[in-house]
Chains A and B, each alone.
Chain A
Amino acid sequence: MLAVLGATVRFDDLEAVSGVDLSVADGETLALLGPSGSGKTTLLRAIAGLQRLDSGRVLWNGTDLDDVPTHSRRFGVVFQDFALFPHLDVGRNVEFGLRMAGMEASERRDRVATALARVELAGFERRRIDTLSGGQAQRVALARALAPEPRMLLLDEPLGSLDRPLRERLVVEIHELLDRLSITALYVTHDQSEAFAVADRVAVIRRGRIEQRGLPEDVWRRPATEFVAEFLGFPTIITATVGGGLADLGVLGTVPLPGVPDGLVRVVVRPDALILDDAGHVEGVVRVRTFRGDHVVLAVDVGGTRIDVRGDAVPGASVRLRVDPAGIVPLEPS
């Protein structure tokens, strides 16, 4: 089990990572989700021993890794640009970690073959690195990191340089592989769909601090802060006036919002909270209809405010909306 306690990294006057506490249980995959510059890669590098911590500790099963250099940590890393060795072929790339561990040549051969078969690249041993496609290079990087059987796998935007269809296919493969090997893994990404697809738990990081952590479903259903809500792509975030367990949402009417102190509160209106319903109390006019493949988004003008609603109608039509109180989530100030 990995534990990070109060990790802090400073670059000159910028604090890239600020007192982060984090733990990854055995066999668990934790996704570290955040925009570029949020410090997620720096944190990963610190765990790998590639980045010095200014304060804080990295523990493995309770043992401080402070004086354990990178090459002795036995953490596998998949780099964003893969960092495959250009002067070695595929087989020798995968073999590298085994050679460093002093394994016998015959055993190495078998292990390389197994590792390549695991990522569906059986027989690729003699291929040169510069002849690989992006997807193949990614698989080789994964096979190379996994071949020495690291005690933990760190993935730094492993699909970041690939195009979307390939990314969507590979994220499923990686998820399956991590599950099958039940390896402890930290998966750093800026892509929420990637994080939700691969992770057992998600931690959202912003400006070097963890803003929210939890199960993917919980984070999506109840974003804790305005930043998380925006980062997850919820389009409608408004200020509500709360009094006596009721929230006045302005043009969207009033809904029950128990357990929130009186006053002005920022809330996110989740897309599933707004339902087209002729019996609804909110009236609006459809301005734009956007086809999104599996659903349609309407930009509805409600009393001068533009609100995105799922459901279908023609532009110019008058519609009525119902608001589901379960989809109104109060946010902590971030």
Chain B
Amino acid sequence: MDQGVDGNRPALSRTARLALVGLPLAFLVIFFAWPFVSIVATGLWRDGRFGFSALGQALDEGDLLGVVWFTTWQAVASTVATLLVALPGAYVFARYEFPGKRLLRAAATIPFVLPTVVVGTAFLALFGPGGILGIRLDGSIWAILVAHVFFNYAVVLRTVGGMWSHLDPRLEEAARSLGAGRWRAFRYVTLPLLRPALAAAASIVFLFTFTSFGIVLILGGSRLATLEVEIYRQTALLFDLPVAAVLAVVQLIGVTAILLAYSRYQERRAVEQPLRAAEDIAHRPATAGQRALVGGVLMSMVLLLGTPLAVLIERSLRSSSGYGLAMYRALGDDDGIRAIEPLEAVGNSLGFAAVATLIALVIGLSASVVISYRRSRASRWFDALLMLPLGTSAVTIGFGFIVALDAPVDLRAWPLLIPIAHSLVAIPFVVRSVVPVMRSIRSRLREAAAVLGAPPGRVWREIDLPIVSRAAAVGAGFAAAVSLGEFGATAFVARPDTPTLPLAIFRYLGRPGELNFGRAMALSVVLMVITAIVISLIERFRTPGIGSF
């Protein structure tokens, strides 16, 4: 008698399991670990010895300390600024009900999914030459800070606001009844309870801004550079691979330290607390003061998030002969030297996105089956391993390809390298979309199908497959969006004749003249619209009630 539960779980043969583990593992080893090791070797291997002498040389050659210092403090400043600016928004979304809330929440996420090149371009339109405010902030830290807040606002709104909206308000009421004023109730009850979400949001924002590339490259001018930008300059402009490698190693150490600190903090801090359904908590603003608060916060949020995009669109429509589609038409013109082919770039980007999505789906789905099949230490390690490329910077990945993939076969000109680089960053999104859903298919559902007469194979087809395929569609959408906007790795790997949309935009920005500036704006709007379409498709496939992101 060995039908029973085991018969209802989709059983995996030894070969199948080996293939499911082996495929993602091989992919990661070849396209992530190997380039990664090559960088470390290039950076620390000098004169037949392994050591840190290269680090010393690099210190002499470039202003390494200065770059590390700037990278760190701008990340700290950006994180603090984002938290301060976004917390009121998180509070209002958590505790108040108002018309258009869902729409506004979705809209607030748009900046985060926008390609960094588009974000940089939008702020260049705002603060750069001919900006509507009349102030030039490009090349200053302020433009970078504001752009980082704009980009990461949604992280705080979603992470902190999400937890806040489930926090039992009776805890704060209990504090009030015990004599705490509004501020002290917040300070001593709400804030400590929110700490896990705050830490999570702060770590994510810090990680993103620490490895910020596109935004700093476009807005930082010639003076300001993060490690990421400096790696790019050292390789693409100065051809100094060893210094770039040292910089990449330093950045890897920084990123690893952040990730380790965060995971240790999470382990220590796991406080169980009763959570309530969000809809029990949020209510309409009742008093004039509450209405003013909600109105004010929402207004400033719309201004912060809407203005750069509005200005970007405005600038794309503006030309010396007035408003119109001149800049969009100019995209189709032959610019004489045929250095940038915007229409080709659209085609390239869509093609790369399709291939990257396919790779991410194949690798991500096999990994998801392994991770969700059994909760074990090995599957947790596997999970963390797959997340690593997301934490590692894109520039490092692209740089690693250049350093590592020349032998035994020179793959550096291989057209598939671009979608492979994109898929490395995209796989975590597929895994994070699919694993929670795979795990949420409770064994009860499979049992229910079995008692209703479904044999094991049929259970998989009728229950697992339809539920998982929706989640896979969501993951595929994210993968496509990541690929469309990816800039850091592509900047290294793409060949001159196969530019992607972000690359084409960046090239336009690097060329003089109002026409090229306008073309960059127009092409950014095109990329923004394509990304927006992909993201809105994702929303249609979400299974209600089962969360991801």
Contacts and interface: CB of A to CB of B under 8 A. Distances in A.
Interface in B437-473: 442, 444-445, 447-456, 458, 462-463, 466-467, 470
Given A76-B451, A85-B463, A148-B452, A52 B5 contact: yes
Nearest to B6: A52
Q: Number of contact residues on A: which range applies? A: 20 to 34
Interface string A92-113: 0000110011000000000000
A87 B3 contact: no
Interface of A: 48-53, 66-77, 79, 81, 83-87, 96-97, 100-101, 130, 144-145, 148
Interface in B1-40: 1-8
Contact of B4 (A52, A72, A83, A130): A52
Given A50-B8, A53-B1, A81-B444, A70 B451 contact: yes
A70 B5 CA distance: 9
Contact of A51 (B5, B452, B453, B454): B5
Contacts of A51: 4-5
B543 A87 contact: yes
Contact of A70 (B8, B444, B462): B8
A69 B467 CA distance: 25
Nearest to B545: A130
Interface in B406-457: 442, 444-445, 447-456
Contacts of B470: 87
B445 A77 contact: no
B450 A66 contact: no
Given A52-B3, A70-B451, 5 more contacts: A53-B1, A69-B7, A71-B454, A73-B451, A84-B448
Nearest to B455: A71
Contacts of A77: 447-448, 451
A314 to B, nearest CB: 36
A66 B451 contact: no
Interface string B476-519: 00000000000000000000000000000000000000000000
A155 B544 CA distance: 28
Given A70-B7, A71-B454, A77-B451, A83 B445 contact: yes
A97 B450 CA distance: 9
Interface of A is mostly: loop
Nearest to A70: B450
A69 B3 contact: yes
Interface string B525-549: 0000000000000000001111000
Given A69-B455, A72-B453, A87-B543, A79 B5 contact: no
A328 to B, nearest CB: 45
20 contacts: A48-B447, A50-B4, A50-B447, A52-B1, A52-B4, A67-B1, A69-B7, A69-B450, A71-B458, A77-B447, A79-B448, A81-B444, A83-B442, A83-B444, A83-B447, A84-B448, A96-B462, A97-B453, A100-B453, A100-B458
Q: Find the residue from B450, B452, B454 having the highest chain A CB count within 10 A.
A: B452
A86 B451 contact: no
Contacts of B543: 86-87
A50 B451 contact: yes
Contact of B453 (A52, A71, A84): A71
A83 B543 CA distance: 16
Contact of A71 (B5, B450, B466, B544): B450
Contacts of A75: 451
B451 A67 contact: no
Contacts of B546: 86
A6 B209 CA distance: 66
